[in-house]
Amino acid sequence: MKISDYDVVPAPAGTTRLIPSRFPPIRAFDAVTTHDDLAAVMDLEGWTNDRLVKPRMDRLPQEEWVYGRPNASVVMAAFLHGSPGGLRFSGASLGAWYGSTHLTSAMLKVANGLRKEIAVSALTQKSESYRQYKADLAGDYVDIFGAYPEFHDPDDASYPAPQAFGQRIRAEGVCAGIRYESVRHPGHENWVCFRPSLVRNVMQADHFKIEVPQTGSVVVRQLS
């Protein structure tokens, strides 16, 4: 199918994302006013020491760099410090901003990630503290919610089909990202945005500790 054959929906307001608390925002990003200053701050903070960051930075157009506003580093990190193997709709070459309409969807997503870590280790449980970030998104989004099972396989660990689809959406540049169904929280919306400049009004909200056993129920505690 051509991208133009898919439905398109407007951007959502009030999405939520959970990020490990061990990765705090870098306030220097909030005060930067030029591209050159941002590059200097990134070098000072050691971001460009990661062998994966510099190539990703080069792939991100300068007009998409986010700085000079609250939590700018949180947005940039989603694109530059992505998973080496990529995520569902973003490959190893460049990350993306993932968010959920409902907090529970975001919690189930990270809990599944913790359970995967347990599966490849000798651990019997794993816990992690998370910051919740709320954000509004701008632009239009390709809508595959409730359809296209090849993009929603809960057992797919390498994501060849959805990553290729996401790459097409990003390369075409007409839509900002994708609306899709949470595979961990069926019936609820997830969103992926491929343009940092369209992740708006990012604010830190609550803190949570999520404890995941090898088997059994996930425990979520809100921290003060």
pLDDT score for 82: 80
Instruction: In whole angstroms, give the CA distance from residue 221 to residue 170.
Output: 36
pLDDT score for 158: 87
Check if the beta carbon of residue 223 is closer than 8 Å to that of residue 209: yes
Per-residue buried b or exposed e for 101-125, using 16+ beta carbons within 10 Å of the residue's own CB: bbbebbbbbbbebbbeebeeeeeee
Neighbours of 208 (CB within 10 A): 20
Going from the C-alpha of 147 to that of each of 20, 186, 207, the distances in angstroms are 31, 12, 33
Neighbours of 64 (CB within 10 A): 14
Check if the beta carbon of residue 93 is closer than 8 Å to that of residue 55: yes
Going from the C-alpha of 143 to that of each of 3, 29, 151, 172, the distances in angstroms are 11, 32, 12, 15
pLDDT score for 71: 96
pLDDT score for 77: 94
For the chain (length 224 residues), average pLDDT per consecutive 10? Answer: 88 94 90 86 78 84 93 95 90 96 97 91 92 97 97 90 96 96 97 98 97 91 91
| Confidence (pTM) | 0.94
10, 15, 20, 22: CA torsion to nearest 10: 100
Neighbour-count burial of 177, counting CB atoms closer than 10 A to its CB (0-12 exposed, 13-18 middle, 19+ buried) = buried
pLDDT score for 22: 92
Check if the beta carbon of residue 219 is closer than 8 Å to that of residue 125: no
Neighbours of 147 (CB within 10 A): 13
With CA atoms as reference, report the closest residue to 42 among 77, 10, 14: 77
- Going from N- to C-terminal start, the domains of the chain cover 8-223
